[in-house]
Structure 1
Amino acid sequence: MRIGVPRETKPGESRIAVTPLAVRALRESGTDVAVETGAGAASGFEDREYLDAGAEIVSQPSEAWSADLVVKVKEPLPPEFPFLSESSTLFTFLHLAAFPALTEELLARRVTAVAYETVTSAGALPILRPMSEVAGILSIQVGARGLEKGCGGRGVLLPGTEGSPPGDVTVLGAGVAGRNAARIAARIGANVTILDVNPEKLVLADGECGGKVRTIRSTPGAVADAVRETDLLVSTVLVAGERAPRLVTREMIRSMRPGAVVVDVAIDQGGAIETSRPTTHAAPFYIEERVVHYCVTNMPAAVPRTSTQGLVTASLPYLLSFARQGVAGALRSDEGLLGGLNTYGGHVTCAGVAKAFGKPFLPPREAIK
């Protein structure tokens, strides 16, 4: 097998899908790896390190895209669509429920596309997890910045000071991203409320935060009340493979304190807030309904070294499985990896994507028979 690693083209995307250590492990398994020149530079990995690990450095993106297995971080953009073909497999974050045009291209070109975010293991999402952890931590960092007056915020310092109260933080969702957001906000001294429909997740969040957060069972009314009284709203709710559920209406945003901040972590799945729209690292904030919004679709790229290392640690076992068994063999042998199959031979093989676009769903096990 030959694995290709093209340079990322999404604005502000500075991660890479493999590290030199991962290349070495793949080479030891007998796999050739072609890395586009400069692909790792923004994450602190130079071409020379990949060469020393046994990779081939290629000068043209087409040389990386022509491999048997193409490994990326983010979804292909329109200039990359011509590289997509039936002859190769794509392994990356796809979030297809938010990208109808990309979905149509993958189907028309009969691409075998495996999405990091729908690969499962023991009921968890092992490749998405480290990026959710990073995004949750970052949400408090960027939210605090958004509250600064220079960004349009209401001028609140989340920890407070002697003589001034701490800020109020509301987190929607007690999954990995939500718990990390709540933990960081509580640690710096903010008043934190976290909401979820699952009481067990709320208990877990309370324990991880040392009992320093208020936990509330999520209902539309409870969400509306919490949103109205908060300085920073962090929304982390998503459903694997599907478009993020719309939890916060424009009316709720309009009820917020002027200069409050919204961070929509699930914007890469379409966002859970009615007033959200995708932004970039170059221009991350905008103001709507007098509320500052941060909706960057690739948040972890802000810390590419940490994010790349976490991502590759999670994805490498699957890359090695592809290398040793071939794409079809690896999919057949691992039900969790098979759950990552989103398109195959012109069919939608992810139930969430089929639901989002009203398309026929072909179970992945049937697709690869």
Structure 2
Amino acid sequence: MAEIAIRAVRKTYGKSEVVHGIDLDVTSGELVVILGPSGCGKSTLLRMVAGLETISDGEISIEGKVVNKLEPRERGCAMVFQNYALYPHMTVADNIGYALKIAGISKAERRERVQAVATSLGLAEFLDRKPGQLSGGQRQRVAMGRAMIREPKVFLYDEPLSNLDARLRVAMRVEIRKLHQRLGATTLFVTHDQIEAMTLADRIVVMNKGGIEQVGSPAEIYQRPATTYVAGFIGTPGLNLLPGIIDPEKGTVTLEDGQAVAYDRSRWPAAAPGPITIGFRAEAVELGSGGLSGQYDFSEELGAAQLVHGTVAKSSVIAHVVGSSVRKAGEPLSFRIAPEHVQLFDQSGRRLSGEKRPTVSLDAASDIVQERPVLLPA
């Protein structure tokens, strides 16, 4: 096992900087997911750790040793790619054992180690097949086996599940988590899928436009997003966000149409009068009279629940509602949000400073983080 330290790492292509001074520590045995949209620099960062991209500035160390100038094979990392990168003319056994063959390991020992890895991944019966004869999930397991057999210090996954269908993605998430628990290897996992991140990670690194927006546990990032960007990106759906004017004396935020939303003043004692953005999760919204007035737009059926979409003060609001009901577009709809569920962000999009910890613990919130994606399409 090995810790990874990333210090002020930058990457430029010509005059364009795509990674802007990243600082990150990954402890030995930790599974860290780097999450962000396409083009945010997450795969570039991973490839710099692997040695597949040169570092324009900064320093990366693995197990206390600076690796900036080391070749990929000297870093003790094994990488699993999105496209599997298997040799099509080789059998599964030859693909898994290829690194041992290059290293000069005897044929008998190779066979024994390949068999052990294949058995652990459920591939023992496919060792004589070639990649073209396997399903997507089986090919991905072969790629994982090829990485495992090297017994690396660090596992690096570059969007390994993107080419799989929804059912296989769920199955492979389970396999990857079991593999990590069994081997305990330090792992960096890159994805654009927030459900993958929430279900796999010990910690999540949310990236945006080449920088880090927030680092934290899945429950922490879900319950206390540091920015409106993270708030909208994490969760299915993301946080409801509405602009307004805050009045700390009354403990309310007035929306654009004059309606007011109460917030917990004890949680936000440093709030000052002025423009602000409020946020709240879909599961914190209750439908019924006595709340904000708006109109119904449409619903998404989730089987055991619905995502009810409506409009309030010219902004979209989504409610996660257990059960189902029939409505027509344009019908009046009322939303209630308890003050303790309202979160506040300043005009720059940062979480309002001076917040006191919410009464709901992050342990309790983790139930929401783990269970909600089961209700939603992957």
TM-score, normalised by the number of residues in structure 1: 0.26
Bigger relative contact order, structure 1 or 2 (CA pairs below 8 A, ≥6 apart): 1
The structure number with the bigger radius of gyration is: 2
